């Protein structure tokens, strides 16, 4: 058998079946509104009154239902039962307290119908309803059929439950477990010793790693069974019932623990981002250097010296004066103008004192020469 969980070792054969009062079995912690971990729907065969039940030791009615509901499954996200009602199925929502909400006819374009769908369960927040020839996917939010997978062979089961990644039901008349792959439609049949060979099995639910189901009428009692896929054990009984369905009230999965942004541990000072550099770096008291490595100081900015002053070239010294012509008897020409320096360019140094000395010498020499020439002329006149 595919994915069987081997937990039970005792089997109850039909000839030795002991009818026990309903007793609680090992199960996951149920929701407070779902005592016993499973919600059931069934009818009293005499009154034909449908109702919602829980079973925690003994069946306890939660609320009457206005009509028959089939193919129920538990939505973990919505925390409610979903199922089908009516010959042309309407989608129904039933709260754990029994509040009935009719969501109207299913939209179904191009898919096989759901008439005669008695078995269903939830998977990936889709209601997977099993008819005799298909597994039909129903979106409970859109109230629409979204897919249908053809079965590899016809099946006749009163209810199914998702267990070990397949939909499993029970066929007492054949003494078999019937498994359906919801993705491919492949049907698997496994002989299950210990099943009664008569009656109809419904109200299938996966509880604590095993399948629980009800056979409606075994010698005047409805008997609750559990199986690990290989053997069968009885867990209780009650009055005869009909049209039963069940769904395990799976608790909402707890979120994965993840650190809250506000609870993020503060980073060490060495890992915190450093402030932008300032012209005058100063050590922050909250930052401490890492052991074994001294903090590297910031390199000072290079100081660029001002450009060196360019030396100012002095004006060229005046060259020696042109040689004077020998003195002659012609009149002495007027004195040349004083040498001037243009101070607009380069601020030249003042004229050296040698120039004045030379001019004085020239003047004296000229006077002497004039006197000598004058004396020579007078002597010549006297000689004549």
From the list 217, 238, 236, the residue with the least C-alpha distance to 225 is 236
Which residues in 85-102 are b (16+ Cβ under 10 Å) and which e? Answer: beeebbbbbbbbebebee
Q: What is the pLDDT of residue 49?
A: 92
Q: What pLDDT does 288 receive?
A: 37
Architecture of domain 14-248: 6 Propeller (2.120)
pTM above 0.75, yes or no: no
Over the stretch 330-342, which tens digit does the pLDDT of each residue have? 554 555 554 444 4
What average pLDDT does this structure show over 239-263?
Answer: 74
What is the overall mean pLDDT for the chain?
A: 73
**Tally of helices (H runs) and strands (E runs) in the chain:** 1, 20
Q: DSSP assignment of 283-321, as one string?
A: --TT--PPTTSPPPPPPPPPP-PPPPPPPPPPPPPPPPP
Q: Can you give the pLDDT at residue 339?
A: 45
Both tokens of residue 52?
């919602």
Answer yes or no: is pLDDT of 372 > 50. yes
Determine the 3-state secondary structure of 191 from DSSP: strand
Determine the pLDDT at residue 340. Answer: 46
- Which pLDDT tens digit goes with each residue over 301-314? 555 655 555 555 55
pLDDT of residue 9: 29
- The DSSP code for 87 is T
Task: Give the residue from 33, 42, 93 showing the smallest Cα distance to 250.
Answer: 33
Query: Per-residue pLDDT tens for 74-104?
Result: 999 999 999 999 988 999 999 999 999 999 9
pLDDT digit string, tens, across residues 280-298: 444 444 343 333 343 444 4
Residue 158: is its pLDDT beyond 60?
yes
357: three-class secondary structure by DSSP: helix
pLDDT in tens, 116-143: 789 999 999 999 999 989 999 999 999 9
Can you spell out the DSSP letters for 236-285?
EEES--EEEEEEE-PPPPPPPP---GGGPPPPPGGGSPPPPP-SS----T
Residue 170, pLDDT score: 95
The encoded tokens of residue 314 equal 């002095």
Look at residue 149 and tell me whether its pLDDT is greater than 90: yes
Question: pLDDT confidence of 367, banded at 50, 70, 90?
Answer: confident
pLDDT of residue 115: 78
Q: pLDDT tens across 22-76, in order? A: 333 333 344 455 766 899 999 988 888 999 999 887 889 999 999 999 999 999 9
Q: What percent of the chain shows pLDDT beyond 70?
A: 58
Residue 270: pLDDT above 60?
A: no
């Amino acid at each position: 058998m595919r994915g069987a969980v081997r937990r039970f070792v005792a089997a109850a054969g039909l000839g030795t079946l002991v009818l026990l009062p309903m007793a609680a079995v090992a199960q996951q912690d149920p929701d407070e509104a779902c005592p016993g971990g499973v919600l059931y729907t069934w009818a009293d065969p005499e009154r034909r009154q449908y109702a919602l039940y829980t079973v925690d030791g003994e069946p306890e009615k939660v609320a009457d239902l206005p009509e028959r509901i089939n193919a129920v499954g538990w939505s973990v996200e919505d925390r409610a039962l979903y199922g089908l009602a009516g010959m042309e199925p309407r989608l129904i929502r039933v709260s754990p307290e029994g509040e009935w909400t009719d969501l109207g006819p299913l939209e179904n374009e191009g898919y096989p119908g759901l008439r005669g769908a008695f078995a269903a369960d939830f998977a990936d927040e889709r209601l997977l309803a099993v008819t005799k020839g298909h597994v039909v996917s129903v979106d409970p939010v859109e109230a629409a059929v979204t897919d249908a997978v053809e079965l590899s062979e016809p099946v006749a089961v009163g209810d199914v439950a998702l267990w070990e990644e397949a939909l499993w039901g029970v066929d007492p008349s054949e003494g078999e477990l019937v498994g359906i792959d919801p993705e491919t439609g492949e049907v698997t049949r496994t002989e299950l010793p210990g099943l009664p060979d008569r009656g109809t099995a419904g109200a299938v639910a996966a509880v604590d790693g095993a399948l629980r189901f009800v056979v409606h009428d075994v010698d005047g009692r409805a008997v609750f069974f559990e199986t690990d896929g290989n053997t069968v054990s009885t867990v209780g009984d009650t009055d005869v019932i009909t049209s039963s369905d069940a769904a395990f009230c799976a608790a909402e999965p707890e979120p994965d623990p993840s650190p809250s942004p506000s609870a993020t541990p503060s980073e060490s000072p060495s890992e915190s981002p450093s402030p932008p550099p300032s012209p005058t770096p100063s050590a922050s008291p909250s930052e401490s250097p890492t052991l074994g490595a001294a903090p590297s100081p910031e390199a000072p900015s290079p100081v660029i010296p001002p450009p060196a002053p360019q030396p100012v070239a002095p004006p060229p010294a005046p060259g020696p004066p042109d040689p004077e012509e020998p003195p002659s008897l012609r009149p002495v020409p007027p004195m040349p103008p004083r040498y001037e320096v243009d101070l607009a360019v380069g601020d030249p140094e003042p004229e050296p004192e040698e120039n004045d000395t030379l001019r004085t010498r020239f003047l004296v020499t000229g006077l002497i020469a004039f006197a000598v020439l004058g004396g020579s002329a007078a002597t010549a006149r006297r000689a004549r």
